[in-house]
Amino acid sequence: MPGSTAPLTRRRAARRRAGLAALAVAAGLAAACSSDDGSEHHPSTTVAPESGAPVIAIEDFTYKTPPSVRAGEEVVVRNGAGPEHSVTSDTEGLFDTHVDGNESATFTAPTTPGAYTFHCVYHPEMYSILIVE
């Protein structure tokens, strides 16, 4: 499920949300980064409670993963400048989101609490862990 181009209005909203999330989640990052975020949404979810959506930021071949996310929560993956990366669960099929440079996408966190390791299919040295509460 590669990220798709979202309508402009949605992209603006996504950028605002991403900025807020970045402030909350990754205070050390330059939240005002001018990257153009795109956001993919499930068609059936027209109004998602995303104001505090957790963000997995990818910078310099490194994941900046939030301390934890809620079960079944929508998680934003934001790729900074650079090549395409993926957030792919080590357990096949749980989640597998591919994001181009300067783009964002979302996936739904597993509905069962636990610790889920994930990696980038393009760069084997990239890996992290998603804590689901």
The verdict on 123 binding Cu ion (CB under 5 A) reads yes
Q: Rounded to the nearest whole angstrom, what is the least distance from the CB of residue 99 to Cu ion in the complex?
A: 9
Site map 23..62 versus Cu ion, x via CB under 5 A: ----------------------------------------
Which lies closer to Cu ion via its Cβ, residue 17 or residue 88? 88
Of the two residues 10 and 123, which places its CB atom closer to Cu ion in the complex?
123
Nearest distance from residue 71's CB to Cu ion, in Å?
26
Q: What is the dihedral of CA 48, 49, 54, 57, to 10 degrees?
A: 40
**Amino acid residing at 102:** N
Question: How many CB atoms within 10 Å of residue 33?
Answer: 16
Q: What share of the chain is helix, strand, coil (3-state, %, to 5)?
A: 15, 30, 55
Whether residue 108 contacts residue 95, with contact meaning beta carbons closer than 8 Å, is answered with yes
Strands 114-119, 85-89: pairing kind: antiparallel
Q: Which residue of 78, 85, 98, 119 would you call a contact of Cu ion, by CB under 5 A? A: 85
Which of these segments, 6-14, 18-26, 35-43, 113-121, binds Cu ion (CB under 5 A)?
Answer: 113-121
Binding site for Cu ion (CB under 5 A): 85, 120, 122-123, 126
